[in-house]
């Protein structure tokens, strides 16, 4: 009976001790973070530059003969073909010039027959010493002059016929014709300073963009060093129009100017674009996206993984081999799609925190799990709170 009382007393003491003791808090779970392992990959490097469109060909039509314009043979704004008649100058003065030149040619040809006959007669007489040798030589000279006069008059006829043909002013190139600065009855002067009308060929069309010579020098150095290569798409150019829309046809890079503008420090790059619907007009402001080359071992990370510190530097969180979080300062070159191109601060194989960064403070231990762009967002994990009840 005494043993049972002592056992009961011990049991009640232990129960009381347990009831009076405090509950110990549970250890917080290690937070999970989604990480992306950085791997080198090929990246096409592009640059977007502002520029202006320029007509493929431009011809300022000026008269080559003088006279009154008696007809305009086109509609302003139409498409004209090379050789198409545009204006007609009064031809009557030039018709008379042709007739006069032809008459002079006939007179010169008639004198040939007379001088040639005189040369033959004098040739017979000089052989029998009937005339002086000098008279015979004068006859030869006269015959030669007559033949030269014929050649000169033939050239005068051709010149007069050319001037007559030029009274019809024709389009030197095919393209869109602009506003006429003269009307019927206006006076045209050969070689005048003001053009009668301007024709522009718009299909294809040029796009001229200035680029910093320092950027082009850096690009050439990268190509020579082998860190950048010219891919198959290096000559392709895309275009964004003034309203923000993308031009539906790609162009091709044609050339870069061989000199640098000393006033701006830029070189002009010219691209050519098909323009079958005349959507692009000369003088339009556009933005051209040029392919610089392909970097074979680029390090790309999504933009969402990069933030800025208090000094404005680009930073990201990286999980080390010991599963501890560290902050890295990055140097970013440009945006490619939705990614940053990182040139310094990351190494191949680094694990960048993509999800759960709220719980991944520098120095904290985390549980990294692979992150996929199309996976649903992982809820932020937080340590459970323990407490006495």
Count, residues in the chain: 389
Residues 272-279: what's their mean pLDDT?
Answer: 91
Give residue 294's pLDDT: 79
Query: What percentage of the chain carries pLDDT values higher than 70?
Result: 82
DSSP state, residue 345:
S
Give residue 337's pLDDT: 82
Confidence of residue 108 (pLDDT cuts 50, 70, 90): confident
Q: Which of 208, 180, 196, 172 is nearest to 280 (CA)?
A: 208
Residue 203 exposed, middle or buried by CB count within 10 Å (0-12, 13-18, 19+): middle
CA-to-CA distance for 125 and 295, rounded, in angstroms? 96
Is residue 233 within 8 Å of 44, Cβ to Cβ? Answer: yes
Strand-pair partners of 72? 87
Is residue 40 within 8 Å of 299, Cβ to Cβ? Answer: yes
- Residues 307-316: tens digit of each pLDDT: 998 888 999 9
Give residue 371's pLDDT: 86
CATH class of 46-56+201-296: mainly beta
Residues 229-252: what's their mean pLDDT?
Answer: 80
Is the model's pLDDT at 102 over the cut of 60? yes
CATH of domain 91-166: 1.10.287.470
Residue with the larger pLDDT of the pair 207 and 128: 207
Is residue 60 within 8 Å of 133, Cβ to Cβ? Answer: no
Give residue 126's pLDDT: 66
Give residue 385's pLDDT: 38
Q: Which of 303, 306, 324 is nearest to 315 (CA)?
A: 306
126-135, 188-197, 287-296, 371-380: least confident range: 371-380
Give residue 221's pLDDT: 72
Q: Where are the CATH 1.10.287.470 domain residues in the chain?
A: 91-166
- Residues 36-86: tens digit of each pLDDT: 999 998 888 777 888 999 999 999 999 999 999 999 999 999 999 999 999
Rounded to 10 degrees, the C-alpha dihedral 289/290/291/293 comes to: -130
Q: Where are the CATH 2.40.30.170 domain residues in the chain?
A: 46-56+201-296
For the whole prediction, is pTM greater than 0.75? no
Is residue 57 within 8 Å of 175, Cβ to Cβ? Answer: yes
- Specify the residue for token string 């969402």: 304
CB atoms within 10 A of CB 10: 10
Is the model's pLDDT at 384 over the cut of 80? no
Domain 32-42+297-370 classified CATH 2.40.420.20?
A: yes
Give residue 381's pLDDT: 46
Give residue 117's pLDDT: 67
CA-to-CA distance for 387 and 112, rounded, in angstroms? 134
Q: Which of 30, 34, 31, 29 is nearest to 369 (CA)?
A: 34
Is the model's pLDDT at 136 over the cut of 90? no
Helix H or strand E encompassing 178? none
Confidence of residue 291 (pLDDT cuts 50, 70, 90): confident
Q: Where are the CATH 2.40.50.100 domain residues in the chain?
A: 63-90+167-194
- Specify the residue for token string 């990182």: 342
CATH class of 63-90+167-194: mainly beta
Q: Where are the CATH 2.40.420.20 domain residues in the chain?
A: 32-42+297-370
The pLDDT mean for the chain works out to 81
């Amino acid at each position: 009976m005494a043993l049972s009382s002592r056992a009961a007393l011990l049991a009640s003491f232990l129960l009381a001790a347990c009831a009076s003791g405090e509950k110990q808090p549970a250890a917080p779970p290690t937070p999970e973070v989604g990480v992306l392992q950085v791997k080198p990959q090929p990246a096409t490097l592009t640059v977007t530059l502002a520029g202006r469109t320029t007509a493929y060909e431009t011809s300022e039509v000026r008269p080559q003969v003088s006279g009154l314009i008696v007809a305009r043979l086109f509609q302003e704004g139409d498409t004209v073909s090379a050789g198409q008649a545009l204006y007609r100058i009064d031809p009557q003065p030039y018709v008379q010039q042709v007739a006069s030149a032809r008459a002079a040619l006939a007179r010169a040809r008639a004198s040939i027959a007379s001088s040639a006959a005189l040369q033959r007669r004098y040739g017979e007489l000089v052989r029998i010493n009937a005339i002086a040798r000098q008279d015979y030589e004068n006859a030869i000279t006269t015959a030669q002059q007559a033949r030269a006069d014929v050649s000169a008059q033939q050239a005068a006829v051709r010149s007069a016929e050319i001037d007559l043909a030029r009274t019809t002013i024709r389009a030197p190139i095919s393209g869109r014709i602009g506003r006429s600065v003269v009307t019927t009855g206006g006076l045209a002067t050969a070689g005048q300073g003001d053009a009668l009308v301007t024709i522009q060929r718009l299909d294809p069309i040029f796009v001229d963009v200035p680029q910093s010579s320092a950027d082009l020098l850096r690009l050439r150095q990268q190509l020579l060093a082998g860190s950048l290569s010219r891919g198959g798409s290096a000559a392709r150019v895309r275009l964004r129009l003034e309203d923000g829309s993308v031009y539906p046809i790609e162009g091709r890079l044609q050339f870069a100017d061989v000199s640098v503008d000393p006033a701006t420090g830029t070189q002009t790059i010219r691209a050519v674009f098909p323009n079958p619907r005349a959507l692009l007009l000369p003088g339009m402001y556009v933005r051209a996206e040029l392919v610089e080359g392909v970097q074979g071992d680029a390090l790309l990370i999504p933009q969402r993984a990069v933030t800025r510190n208090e000094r404005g530097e680009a930073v990201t969180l990286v999980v080390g081999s010991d599963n501890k979080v560290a902050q890295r300062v990055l140097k970013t070159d440009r945006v490619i799609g939705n990614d940053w191109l990182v040139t310094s601060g990351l190494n191949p194989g680094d694990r960048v925190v993509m999800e759960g960064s709220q719980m991944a403070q520098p120095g904290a231990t985390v549980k990294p799990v692979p992150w996929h762009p199309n996976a649903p967002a992982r809820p932020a994990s937080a340590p459970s709170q323990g407490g006495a009840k």
